[in-house]
Amino acid sequence: MTAPTAPSLAITFLYYRDLKTAEAFYAETLGLPLVIDQGWAKIFRLAEGAHIGLVDESRGMNNWQAEKCVQLCLRVEDVDAWYAWARAEALADLSEMFQNDEIGIRAFVFSDPEGYQIEVQTPTRQGA
């Protein structure tokens, strides 16, 4: 038997108590395009083929959890420009810029409106 065809896109779903606030953050603050609006699920494009889905936890397959075990990571070309923007926006839980030589990145983190951590990073070496 041959393998099925490859996925056409990938969506990671996160669950929210206040979907409107989360939607505004990803659309207005982060400037991500809403590509699929299913009413109680909002799907935003992160990059080619990669998407994040915001789900009203009262309607989705999983429930909102206070303790988050998921981190959204955005790899960018100019982490310094993103950091300057994040500071100007006074994003919640904004860290200092840090470098992790073991995995070869420079990065910072902040939190979305319901506590999911978002990391913005750039590689410091080829292949990292």
Are 128 and 72 in a shared domain? yes
Using one digit for the tens of pLDDT, what is the confidence trace for 66-105? 999 999 999 999 999 999 999 999 999 999 999 999 999 9
Range of the domain at 48: 9-57
What is the average pLDDT score of the chain?
95
Give the up-direction half-sphere exposure of residue 37: CA atoms within 13 A in the CB hemisphere: 7
Does residue 43 sit in the same domain as residue 95? Answer: no
On whether residue 1 sits in a domain, the answer given is no
Q: What is the pLDDT of residue 3?
A: 84
Please indicate, yes or no, whether residues 88 and 50 belong to a single structural domain of this protein.
no
How many domains is the chain built from? 2
* Average pLDDT estimate for 11-37: 97
Q: Tell me how far apart the alpha carbons of residues 101 and 50 are, in angstroms, rounded to a whole number.
A: 26
- Specify the CATH number for the domain of residue 82: 3.10.180.10
Q: Are the beta carbons of 46 and 12 closer than 8 angstroms?
A: no
Residues 80 and 127 in one domain: yes
pTM, two decimals, is 0.91
